[in-house]
Structure 1
Amino acid sequence: MDSISPYVAGIFLSYGAFLIAIASPGPNVLAVIGTSMAVNRQSGLALAMGVATGTLTWAMLTAVGLSALLATYASAILIIKVFGGLYLLWLAYKSFRSAASAHDIDVNELAGGRRTTWGYARRGYIIQMTNPKAALAWIAIISLGLAPDAPLWVAGAIVIGTFILSVVIHLIYALVFSTPTMVRIYGHARRVIQGTLGTFFGFAGFRLLTDRGGVWDAR
Structure 2
Amino acid sequence: MKSSTAAIPLAAALLTLGACGLGSEEPDTEAPADTATADEAAEEAADETADGPDGEAEVEPAGERGSRANPLALGESIEGSDWVVIINEVQFGADEQVAAENQFNEPPPEGHSFVLIDVSATYTGTDSEMPMLGTDIAWVTSSGETLGSSDAFAVAPDAFDTTRELYEGGSETGNLVIAVPEDDEGLIRVRLGMFEREEAFVAPR
TM over 0.5: no
* Greater helix content: 1
Which TM-score bucket, shorter chain as reference?
A: under 0.3
* Greater strand content: 2
Please give the TM-score of this superposition, normalised by the length of structure 1. Answer: 0.21
Please give the TM-score of this superposition, normalised by the length of structure 2. Answer: 0.22
**Structure index of larger Rg:** 2
